[in-house]
């Protein structure tokens, strides 16, 4: 391993020179293929921390799909049922790690376009087959099976970035960052997120099953590596909506909620029955589904446009049909990286099936938020820990 790595450029092509280096010791990662860029490495290192923490907290394989220094999706290696395989466009017997990546990528496929992948475990051939067919910039993992590595090396005409991270690496307790020639220093956020964080239930409803506790841990750990402000919806071992980098909490909740709604709607039978033309690319198919479910469905109504995507012209889901479908959503977990200042966040979250909430607490309006949860029969815990990430 080396102590430094020269990069082509920084965030933008005009930002030269660029490199990563260690003040002491050697870099904990090895480039097995390709040439990573500045943003690739930010995504890779943040993604690796996320999946490492997820596995430690849940004892399950984990994967994340990172894009522009925030997770588009994160998930655990739980089996996929028939419908989940259909909406994620996967088939056959998948390893637990492959299931984790299928879920992470399928959470928000539009945002995952050109992602950087992080895997908690050695990349097996089952997972490599899924990665090989997606538009992706690279992957980081603690190791690779020989066949998986050879397959991934063929991706992007041999230029696909493949990184191996040293699982035993422990970073220094202090971290620094330069902004405008000024160096910032702080202690690393080593706060451990585990089940003990979910014990302070503040609502009348104290119902918090083990599946919800798992999903709240998943959401909280995801938020730890999401650009603030941030809110995360999780369900059945995966994120289904991540709202990142918004200046107001309600905009985070709406953004993530809209993504969660699309995830729910993708399970609708009319979406499952969509017939695509044989030669459609995966990104074109994903875009067509989002357009079909969106408010701009008229964009594909004209004869020329829909024939490029569908074999037969699909009837749109009406607003009332969407509302009826979403009204049946229940059991979703929601976490916030800071307190909810107003109860409008709770009301919006409930519309996307949220039943369980974790947030730090500490607002002067905490009681208003608790009262709204009680009125909606939601369970909420106060973690006492803010998770801002910048």
Residues acting as catalytic residues: 67-68, 229, 390
Phi then psi for residue 7, to 5 deg, are -115, 155
Nearest to 150 by CA among 120, 125, 122, 121: 125
Starting from the edge strand earliest in sequence, which strands make up the sheet with 62-67, in order?
29-33, 161-165, 136-141, 115-119, 62-67, 70-76, 238-244, 230-235, 332-336, 354-359, 379-382
Nearest to 128 by CA among 85, 117, 166: 117
CA pair distance 111, 281, nearest whole angstrom? 16
Nearest to 64 by CA among 53, 27, 35, 1: 53
Q: Judge contact between 300 and 351, C-beta under 8 A.
A: no
The Cα-based distances of 4 to 28, 95, 177, 266 in angstroms read 10, 35, 17, 45
């Amino acid at each position: 391993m080396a102590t430094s790595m020269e990069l082509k450029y920084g965030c933008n092509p005009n930002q030269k020179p660029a490199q990563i280096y260690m003040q002491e010791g050697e870099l904990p990662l090895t480039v097995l293929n390709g040439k990573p860029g500045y943003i690739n490495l930010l995504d890779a290192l943040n993604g690796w921390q996320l999946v490492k923490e997820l596995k430690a907290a849940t004892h399950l394989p984990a994967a994340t799909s990172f894009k522009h220094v925030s997770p588009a999706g994160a998930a655990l290696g739980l089996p996929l049922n028939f419908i989940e395989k259909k909406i994620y466009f996967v088939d056959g017997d998948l390893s637990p790690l492959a299931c984790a990546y299928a879920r992470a990528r399928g959470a928000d496929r539009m945002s995952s376009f050109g992602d950087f992948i992080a895997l908690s475990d050695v990349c097996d051939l089952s997972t490599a087959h899924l990665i090989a067919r997606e538009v992706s910039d690279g992957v980081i993992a603690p190791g690779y099976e020989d066949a998986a590595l050879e397959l991934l090396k063929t991706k992007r005409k041999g230029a696909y970035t493949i990184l191996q991270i040293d699982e035993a690496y422990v970073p220094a307790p202090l971290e620094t960052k330069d902004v405008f020639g000024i160096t910032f220093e702080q202690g690393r956020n080593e706060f451990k997120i585990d089940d003990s964080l979910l014990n302070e239930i503040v609502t009348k409803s104290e119902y918090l099953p083990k599946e919800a506790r798992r999903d709240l841990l998943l959401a909280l750990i995801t938020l730890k590596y999401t650009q603030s402000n941030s809110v995360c919806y999780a369900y059945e071992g995966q994120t289904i909506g991540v709202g990142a980098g918004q200046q107001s909490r309600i905009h985070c909740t709406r953004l993530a909620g809209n993504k969660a709604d699309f995830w729910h709607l993708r399970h609708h039978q009319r979406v499952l029955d969509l017939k695509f033309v044989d030669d459609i690319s995966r990104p074109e198919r994903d875009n067509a589904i989002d357009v079909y479910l969106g408010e701009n469905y008229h964009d594909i109504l004209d004869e020329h446009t829909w024939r490029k995507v569908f074999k037969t012209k699909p009837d749109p889901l009406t607003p009332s049909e969407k509302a009826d479908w979403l009204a049946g959503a229940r059991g979703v977990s929601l976490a916030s990286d800071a307190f909810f200042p107003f109860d409008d966040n709770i009301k919006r979250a409930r519309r996307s099936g949220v039943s369980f909430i974790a947030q730090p607490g500490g607002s002067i309006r905490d009681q208003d938020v608790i009262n709204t949860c009680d009125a909606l029969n939601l369970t909420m815990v106060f973690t006492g820990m803010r998770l801002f990430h910048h």
